[in-house]
Homo-oligomer: A and B are copies of this chain.
Amino acid sequence: MAHVSKGTVSRVINGIPGVGDDTRRRVMKLIESLDFHPNASARGLAARKTNTMGFVIPHTGKYTLTSTFWPMFLTVVTQEAAARGINVLLSTARAEDDVDSAFRTILRGRRIDGAIIGAEQFGDKQLAELLLKSLPFVMMGRSAKISSYYVDVDNALGARIASEHLVAKGHSRIAILAGPDWLPYVDDRIRGARDVLREHGLPDPVVVHCSYDTAEAVRCVQGILLSRPAVSAIFVAAGDLVVGTLKACADMGLNVPHDISVVSFDDHPFFAHLSPGITAVAQPIEELGAAAVQMLVELMAGREPERRAMIIAPHLVERGSCAAPRDRENTPR
């Protein structure tokens, strides 16, 4: 219709130089008025790129997307991607067996140009497959298996911030409710907290590992509270454990922060509106999402990103769940 070859049309669509200004304008106007959109499959086939990224996150309970971190991260990633004209193909794995199949479903058939992957997700098989296909990917979180292309919060720093806050309030007997011990970041958080306590000449914290299941968190916290009457503050090292912690305290008739102080690693919109509000170390989710997408975009374009890893500092959001310690009565209920 513009009396030009499709090669020329292709050039203007893709913003490739070497097209006359008037030709370009004419073609663009036609595209606009016809509401023409190039067929994604055809482009994918010819150009060997789909402009789509995969998003693979770990299974966290029955509803994968109800954790305190991933839904927000996914929201940010989706928006950052959309801003760059990139689509997001989602994959959530439920059972352990599904991880691999979900993973492969998305990688299969060159459907995506790259992926953002939760580091926990990362088994040897998955790694092998990614490398084999030379599919660019960036991880959210550090993995023991591979040290390139990831974004992460500074876990040790976050734990330090939380602990310093507790120590500043006067606490000396601190318990840590931490996630599963095979997760690298869980260890980082424990270390960060312990270091602070040692620096202050305080005893090492009690550490209890717990899966991301609220009922189990309740049991763990009850165990801590019953067996360690001296503990006056709990550092809940993952947002998903906060609700269970609060429930355990409430069930035992303990008032937060009056009887026991609570800090959370991870913030969540509703933490601000609980009573008391939960003092939390907030992960820089926006920055993490933006950095991950940015890094992946570079990789997908075949360029080397400025940095192969991006560690971002979290910050403390002080609300009402931490107070000065007081002797806790050791008689639950």
A residues near B (Cβ < 8 Å) are 37-45, 50, 52, 55, 61-66, 71-72, 74-76, 78-79, 82, 85, 87-92, 94, 98, 101-102, 105-106, 108-111, 214-215, 218, 243-244, 246-247, 250-251, 268-270, 272-275
Contact = CB atoms under 8 A, between A and B. Distances in A.
Contact of A87 (B62, B63, B76, B111): B111
A87 B66 contact: no
Nearest to A247: B273
Contacts of A218: 273
B89 A89 contact: yes
A243 B44 contact: no
Contact of A41 (B50, B76, B247): B50
A65 B65 contact: yes
A272 B87 contact: no
Interface of A is mostly: helix
Given A52-B89, A79-B92, A270-B243, A108 B37 contact: yes
A164 to B, nearest CB: 28
B65 A71 contact: yes
B250 A66 contact: no
Contacts of A61: 269
B72 A87 contact: no
Given A38-B109, A66-B269, A214-B269, 9 more contacts: A40-B44, A41-B42, A43-B109, A63-B72, A65-B75, A66-B72, A82-B91, A87-B105, A89-B89
Contact of A244 (B50, B244, B273): B273
Contact of A78 (B62, B90, B268, B273): B90
16 contacts: A39-B109, A41-B41, A41-B43, A43-B109, A62-B269, A63-B71, A63-B75, A63-B269, A65-B65, A71-B71, A79-B92, A82-B91, A88-B90, A90-B90, A214-B269, A250-B275
A41 B37 contact: no
A102 B44 CA distance: 20
Contact of A82 (B39, B66, B102): B102
Nearest to A242: B270
Contacts of A268: 66
Contact of A40 (B62, B109, B246): B109
B63 A78 contact: no
A134 B321 CA distance: 54
A16 to B, nearest CB: 18
Given A66-B71, A85-B105, A89-B52, A110 B273 contact: no
A89 B145 CA distance: 29
